[in-house]
Chains A and B, each alone.
Chain A
């Protein structure tokens, strides 16, 4: 299947393809809702094209074939030959699903049966059946191509300006407050201008807040460290917002014929570069002996073209402009006179660059050939025409060598590569030698080199390393241990007394804390992928039930703990299906009720303090409390004479075995859903609330802690044991006067606090810990939904932030213990869940 069986390369392709397929699925769903969404068509086309190219490169014929068929259909949609109706979108979605199965099966899982001929036929058939009515279909002419260009330019502008500004910022002395402020202000302008994503603006806001502490010499070095850290985050955030300008050149095994990505961006670049060249020419022609300023202008025009070419991924133009620029640089520096020969050379340089630009404009892509004027100018400039290649020693790990990539195409034998490597002289590159000796066509080397550059760029710059969760957890654990041992060092009086030790230990503490917040941040992932799954579920459900549903997704960028994402994915899926199935009525019923025929489902996420609110809202028929109560009574889930408020009635749907669907559909309505939903959410300390109005719709609000990993806790002592209580639950601590705690018949011991009788529970006896003194001790009053409770403990030891660990034990234990944490001395402390302390 793969010529050289390079598993790493295959894995890379698999991951990459899965991402592209996710993207194309999202685009197709957008297209389903808005058949005129040209941008979605473009993006989907590009994504599938990339998958096809990669598959071709890897000789994965089945994937390539199917991707090609899908791409053909999309191409027809793109050119308005075919209308993006439901049949088309459905077929494409099916193709994407199949492609996902096929790529998923690459590492050994069983691939789906068959050869996809049916699917390919279906896609092909759609290509022709619609031809008759194409005239009636003309989507509103949107300017998506300009938008794509604008985005590309914005992305480049973002990275350029941010890089420059951050570079400047980091070079500044921490004491130069005014200069730092100026720099931050310009970053602020930049962020507004280009609408930077939220994490970036957040980092910027934090940087601005540091200005005050920077002004104070006492806190300056700490603040400066923080500033540097935040600038790192800013850079990551902007880079993460998909600013992959350098990988813009689509790598396709089948070459330039189909790879015409973003023509406008090419032409934009060309016209801009042309303009610069015209300026340069004007300078040249104005005088045979230009002055310093004119030389400077000339130099700059080449320099700018070089920079733009580098950002847009035109290596040949970049290389050429660089050669001219370096030829001119001694003149600019005044070390060399502007001779007639140099005059001629730079004019030739302008001509050569023009030829390269027009070649690019005509073909849309860098063709891998040097036009004659460029070749002539290049030789006069002493530029050796080479294909940019990465030296082996500079190759990032996991990026295959050029020779390996060529062998993988199956068109070059390993023997050829090895023979050529043998005759390589120092400084010579394999790719050039292969072309020079005529063993491999230039275009093929070019493609392999581009692929390699793309892989290397990914591996280095915006590379996301895929790390197993187990290793991530291990890292978090070890950082926690580091924090503890560091604290032990810091608290060791003998060590701290040593000269210079205090300063080093202080600095170390800062580094360890940054490391901790970084490690914990690694656990956060955006909700985007989860939401995307919901979009697919709504689409499928709506299609199956023949309903029209518009889904709105808000806040996909909100980040939550990885474990949280996993915990809510299934409940959310269930709820979304419920909304589409039971919530939204059929179009006929909706129209009769005076509602728009298409139902609306809104899934949103937002931060609220240290919580995330995920809300699912539909404008369907709503929950009818009376119906719910009747159903519950009929099923014997509540007493026949029970009186329930509407809120209580809504809660009934969380009971096991409760289902309101009049008909059991294939999708939901078997009554095994909402109880599992609630249980899953409770497991991650989440809460779900329902609000609903009959005929108007329902909303389900899920409240989740941002992370299950960190807890602000009060440490308390009972006998010789220590326990932790979440600080959010603590109302107050009371040292009771004699007689303040009273025994009430039938209700146990109580204390009057803030006008209420609060039950008192002594933790010593409850947990079976000896050595506690009931006469002494402190009462810690805790808030609970079921009313406050006072825990009697021996001593409060103070506040501390702890990393919550699951009790990795399937053994039974007291229900009031919810989890564990590592305390400052390395011992385990147990975390008490107040709501599970039983008072009777």
Chain B
């Protein structure tokens, strides 16, 4: 055990160490990643946010849609006193359809009298859901498209890449905005038949997130497809693929056992670096009113609700804004760390 540790110490700063216990490239990358303190901090923060998203009802005093209209636009910490937060005299029951509420808000309340902290915490669910779903969707589509195109080559490749080239020149965001408007207009009219009706139902269930997923997925698979194709093209010519072909392996075997495992790594890193962009796009869509449906709390939508009263109630913009920035920062740190850890070309230069 101690000998191992000693060896570890010896090889710590020696990247070309070829003696001692062998390490797989993955272990190498993991060690490199762990050494990057900022990246680790970012990852830990993201894990904390994920936990917060799951246990949101526990760490928030109210549901995100609970209104207390008599105490709207409360300033942060107004009447906040840790000993009396849930004391009887701070809580009121009303005869109105609005639910009862306690009149203290740790970080203030918005224009409709909803607790800001609760909304920000529930907002993590939207941002994280978008981050991971959009990453998965664009990864899967891009991987399949790119692999098919690159592996087949020839005319298929040519046609598929022409389509990608075409889509690349399309101003995606305006068209996606139009598509979202189209979906939203349909769902307002209450279409309930066929695929469209099913999608609208699902959209309602997810609080308007489904259309955001579709929009962001449609926006981002193109780059992934190009990258996957490039990777497949270069690996296809490698000796190990040739060897596999020589011993009579089927195309499926070569794709799934030899190509995809090699292609997946760079794509995953590219995805982790693209996640901040997905979070941006969601908040931008929600900001212009095309993202989630109210009352689902999204940080972009909260900034939109708050920014018209920026002068008098800056906290309505500041809190979701800071949350958005910090989460993006954490994803950026993690993405940069992953890239540095896996890019062996960069590693020697430190």
Q: A and B bound?
A: no
CB within 8 Å of A: which residues of B?
none
